[in-house]
Amino acid sequence: MRANNNSPLHMKSQCRPSRGNPWAVLGLTLGTLLASAIMEDVRACGWWGDAEKSATNNATIVGADGRPRTDDVALYAAPAQMAEMGNKFRLGQGVPKDLQTAANWYRQAAARGHAGAQYNLALLCETGLGVPQDLVQAAHLYRSSAMQGNRHAQHHLAEMLRDGRGVDQDPAQSAKWFLAAAEQGHKDVFGEIGRLYWEGTGVPRNPVQAYKWWELAAASGDHKSASRRDMAAKKMDPAHLTKAKQLAATWSPKAAQ
């Protein structure tokens, strides 16, 4: 199989450092950090997520310090590689820890639809780490990632909609995203969904569903939800309690989107 003349490896072999040549240094830093990532599936969705496989191997031009070039002659790596660079600068893996540079890499990947980068950049925007705090932008990025099925983004978006942070308060939309995350097995939201069903906040009141989610949360070690489950059991009739227990016992998460 002949090598593609446009592949990063071929391009790198043809480059020679020269003054004013925008292709001159095809990333000593990038080459070191991403050589294996380009050749293998990159696990780069974010701080907690799974990998998104890349469909392109375009090279990225970086400066000597490893920071991405943003002028009009720069080429960009696949979003997964950009997200991985963001992770490396965020964690200080092989490079000095630099949240601002991490945000720059996440921003490039996020603009190209990488759900993990959208989520990670949203976290930085929400907390004001590496970028000015911007709750509106954080909510926007969480939504973009959530719509692609990132359960952690769904969780954060649900909280912002519940609390009216960066977006208008919307109990129904908040409940929708809490449920989306829960259905994918995100245990951190089980207890909250139980509360929503018990109170009828954003969803019709449903003690059976409340008990189910509190039981699932309790099984994950949530002691507060265990107490609420026991409280609910005392107030439910036997038939509803039996149904709730059956629902909890047979529930399983949906496959990730």
- Span 161-191, pLDDT tens digits: 999 999 999 999 999 999 999 999 999 999 9
Q: For all residues of the chain together, what is the average pLDDT? A: 80
Q: Give the DSSP letter string of 12-76.
A: HHH----TT-TTS-B-HHHHHHHHHHHHS----S-SS------S------B-TTSPBP-STT---
* Interaxial angle between packed helices 207-219 and 190-199, expressed in degrees from 0 to 180 and rounded to the nearest 10: 160
Taking only the tens place, the pLDDT of each residue in 64-94 is: 455 555 443 335 579 999 999 999 999 999 9
State the pLDDT at residue 53. 35
Taking only the tens place, the pLDDT of each residue in 40-49 is: 333 333 443 3
CA-CA distance, 76 to 253, in Å (whole number)?
A: 36
Predicted structure pTM score: 0.72
State the pLDDT at residue 116. 96
Task: State yes or no: pLDDT of 256 exceeds 90.
Answer: no
Closest to 44 (Cα-Cα) out of 90, 7, 95? 90
CA-CA distance, 117 to 102, in Å (whole number)?
A: 10
